[in-house]
Amino acid sequence: MKKATWIRTVVLVGAVGALEIACRTGAIPATMIIAPSAMVVAVVKLLQSDDIGAHIEQTLSAVAIAMSLAIVFGFVIGFILNWVPFLRRAFSPFLAAYYAIPHFAFYPLLIVIFGLGSTPLIVLATVFAMVAMILATMAGLDRVPRVLLKTARIHRLSLLDEIWRVRLPAAAPHLLSGLKLAVAYSFIGVIAGEFILSTSGIGHEIAYSYDNFDNPRMYALILFVLTIVTTFNMAVYAYERRLMRRRGA
Amino acid sequence: MIAEARLAAVDAPGSVGASHKIHARLDGVTRVYPPRAGHGEVHALGPISFELRAGEFFSVVGPSGCGKSTLLDVLAGLAVPSAGTVEFEGKRVLGEVPDGVGVVFQEDASFPWLTVEDNVAFGLRRSGVDPAEIKRRVDFAIGFMALGDFRRAYPSQLSGGMRQRVCIARTLVLQPRLILLDEPFGALDQQTRLLMGDELLRLWRETSATVLLITHALDEANLLSDRIGVMSARPGRFIDIVETGWPRERDSRLAEGPDFGAVTARLWSFLRAESLRAMGQGSKQGSAPR
């Protein structure tokens, strides 16, 4: 195991162990945080209960749709802005200021426009996540070495072939970074939206458990979300590592 | 004496002996870059006229920023001349790379996401060549460039010289009739340059292709070439074309001979004044846009 992995493992195990001891000895009251082992037990119980399936399904499907839309539209818009300089010049200031906007303040407006249900959540999460993908796509395409584009011309590639076989592979590391951010922002958008106003979904269940002092269920849901997001990101990260190792990074 | 005899055989710039078949021709070519933010119009090249003989090894030397790479881009069809015409095998080159032209650049142009084998086969796989023929040509090019032990390696696992060999092999498999080399060894150390030069000569002899090499290194140009075009400071024009007269069978040991120094000295005598002029230009205006 590498030194960095050792350090990471020791820090993680140490923090979880310290929390476990603090909770078990009563240094931290159960009304504040429950012990990590109790969280794991609560997750198992949660997943065995009948009522949680629909909430998980709703949240994950909303995240999946928002994520897909953010990645596809983010890539397409990023590509167009990279390709058409005057559009880029026109929109760059908006993109630069985008994450300074409190997106969640618009959630009530989205409910007025789209009604109750998943749609406003999906729209909120999509617009929240999409710009990360737009910026990553533009950064990736900006950094395609000119010599590779000349090489494409020497090989007389069609425009589509040039994009598919040269520009996109060359930009892939940036695109993957954008994808990772889009995944994270989609989860944040959907769950935070559910937390504020929704009547169902994991975010709503966390808020509901919090309001009812049901700490085991609340922490079980938090741990569940963390596990899903981390697993997804780790999978993308592993693929990215493999890709970058080939490229000598 | 031998050197003198050879130097006396130098053609006037642009002139070509009647017995030589012309492979490519530039006629009154200029390249002017339009004004850009903070810079006025830049006249980078020409007017320049010269003919590339079929099967010759022609090098171009000149001061920095004199338009050598622009000349190569125009000849390759990567850039459109502002005036004048370019012909390859009797056909006009009009902003598109003609079939039969291969280019190797100074920068590493290997695709980092492809193995050596896939890099070398890249162009062939796009050109509808039969898979068995692709394999035969790729195997040959990889063997020729001594990359056999690295065919499944990625460029990041190779040295700079090996990556450049991958790019040459990728050009070689397309069986170009005209190979344009834009300072392909510029980033390599001196020993590797000499060895790569030998490999390039071997490639030239075995393929019978016409080669045009852009280089800063006078010794390299001298060693490798049948003729060497010396360019002026910007806007680049040929101020001399030196015919070396070296035998076709040659390698880097040629540099040990007494005639070698005479040719290099002649090149330098032209280039010194132009380099000083270019330095003066550079301090006033900066170099031409690429």
Q: What are the residues whose beta carbons fall under 8 Å from the beta carbon of A194, sequence distance 6 or more? A: A59, A121, A200, A201, A202, A203, A204, A207
By Cβ distance, the residue of A161, A169, A249 closest to B111 is A169
More confident residue, B278 or B284: B278
Same domain, B21 and B129: no
Give the mean pLDDT of B150-175: 91
Report the residue of chain B nearest A150, measured CA to CA: B78
Topology classification of domain A37-246? MetI-like fold (1.10.3720)
- Residue B34 above 50 pLDDT? yes
Does A247 lie at the interface with B, CB-CB under 8 angstroms?
yes
Q: How confident is the model at residue B5 (pLDDT cuts 50, 70, 90)?
A: very low
Same domain, B90 and B180: yes
| Domains: count for chain B | 2
Domain presence at residue B181: yes
Q: How many CB atoms lie within 10 A of CB B49?
A: 17
B113, A166: Cβ pair inside 8 Å? no
Task: Give the residues across from B60 on adjacent strands.
Answer: B214, B229
**Helices and strands in chain B: count of H runs, count of E runs:** 8, 10
Domain presence at residue B105: no
Same domain, B194 and B280: yes
Same domain, B18 and B46: yes
Instruction: Say what the pLDDT of residue B2 is.
Output: 35
Instruction: Say if residue B207 is exposed, middle or buried (CB neighbours under 10 Å; 0-12, 13-18, 19+).
Output: middle
Residues in B whose CB is inside 8 Å of some CB of A read 76, 78, 96-97, 99, 101-103, 105, 107-109, 111-113, 122-123, 126, 154-157, 174
CATH of the domain at B39: 3.40.50.300
Instruction: Say what the pLDDT of residue B149 is.
Output: 92
* Chain A: closest CA distance from residue B97 (Å): 6
Instruction: Say what the pLDDT of residue A130 is.
Output: 94
> 3-state DSSP call for residue B52?
strand
Instruction: Say what the pLDDT of residue A105 is.
Output: 78
Instruction: Say what the pLDDT of residue B15 is.
Output: 39
Does A246 lie at the interface with B, CB-CB under 8 angstroms?
yes
| Cα B254 to Cα B138, B226, B259, distances in angstroms | 31, 13, 9
Tokens for B221? Answer: 């140009």
By Cβ distance, the residue of B101, B113, B122 closest to A246 is B113
Does A45 lie at the interface with B, CB-CB under 8 angstroms?
no
Instruction: Say what the pLDDT of residue B126 is.
Output: 81
Domain presence at residue B277: yes
Instruction: Say what the pLDDT of residue B17 is.
Output: 43
Distance CA B192, CA B160 (A): 10
Q: What is the mean pLDDT of chain B?
A: 84
By Cβ distance, the residue of B78, B112, B123 closest to A247 is B112
Instruction: Say what the pLDDT of residue A63 is.
Output: 94
A156, B76: Cβ pair inside 8 Å? no
Distance CA A177, CA B140 (A): 39
Instruction: Say what the pLDDT of residue A244 is.
Output: 84
Give B-chain residues touching A155 at CB under 8 angstroms. 122-123, 126, 174
A108-147 residues labelled b (16+ CB within 10 A) or e (exposed): eebbeeeeeebebbbbbbbbbbbbbbbbbbbbbbeebeeb
| Cα A150 to Cα A155, B80, B102, B140, B184, distances in angstroms | 9, 14, 11, 25, 15
Give A-chain residues touching B158 at CB under 8 angstroms. none
Domain presence at residue B251: yes
- Residue A52 above 70 pLDDT? yes
Instruction: Say what the pLDDT of residue B134 is.
Output: 93
Instruction: Say what the pLDDT of residue B64 is.
Output: 85
| Cα B282 to Cα A106, A140, A169, A174, B233, distances in angstroms | 56, 33, 37, 36, 10
Peptide bond into B235 cis (omega under 30): yes
| Cα B69 to Cα B60, B72, B196, distances in angstroms | 10, 5, 20
Same domain, B28 and B158: no
Same domain, B265 and B190: yes
**pLDDT tens, residue by residue, A113-138:** 888 778 888 998 999 899 999 999 99
- Residue B222 above 80 pLDDT? yes
Residue showing tokens 């880097």: B252
Instruction: Say what the pLDDT of residue B19 is.
Output: 55
Domain presence at residue B107: no
Same domain, B163 and B183: no
Specify the pTM: 0.80
Domain boundary among B148, B175, B202: B175
Instruction: Say what the pLDDT of residue B290 is.
Output: 45
Does A156 lie at the interface with B, CB-CB under 8 angstroms?
yes
Distance CA B290, CA B278 (A): 16
**pLDDT tens, residue by residue, A216-232:** 899 999 999 999 988 98
Distance CA A30, CA A24 (A): 9
Residue showing tokens 């050596």: B116
Instruction: Say what the pLDDT of residue B230 is.
Output: 92
**pLDDT tens, residue by residue, B259-273:** 888 888 888 888 887
Report H helices in chain B: 2-8, 68-76, 116-125, 131-144, 160-172, 190-207, 218-224, 258-285
Domain presence at residue B148: yes
Give the mean pLDDT of A196-200: 82
More confident residue, B114 or B13: B114
Domain boundary among B144, B175, B206: B175
Same domain, B165 and B243: no
Q: How confident is the model at residue B178 (pLDDT cuts 50, 70, 90)?
A: very high
Domain presence at residue B290: no
Same domain, B149 and B88: no
A148, B111: Cβ pair inside 8 Å? yes
**pLDDT tens, residue by residue, A137-179:** 999 999 999 999 999 999 999 999 999 999 999 999 999 999 9
Same domain, B73 and B44: yes
Give the mean pLDDT of B119-126: 90
Domain boundary among B132, B149, B175: B175
Give the mean pLDDT of A4-28: 91
Distance CA B193, CA B195 (A): 5
| Mutation for B interface: A154, A160, A242, most B CBs within 10 A | A154
- Per the structure, the complete domain to which residue B187 belongs is given by 2-100+176-285
Q: Which long-range contacts (CB under 8 A, 24 or more apart) does A167-170 make?
A: A167/A141, A169/B111, A169/B113, A170/A140, A170/A143, A170/A144, A170/A145, A170/B111, A170/B112, A170/B113
Q: How confident is the model at residue B284 (pLDDT cuts 50, 70, 90)?
A: low
Domain presence at residue B106: no
| Mutation for A interface: B69, B105, B179, most A CBs within 10 A | B105
Distance CA B200, CA A50 (A): 73
Instruction: Supply the ipTM of this predicted assembly.
Output: 0.81
Instruction: Say what the pLDDT of residue B287 is.
Output: 47
Give the mean pLDDT of B126-151: 89
Same domain, B21 and B92: yes
By Cβ distance, the residue of A147, A161, A247 closest to B105 is A147
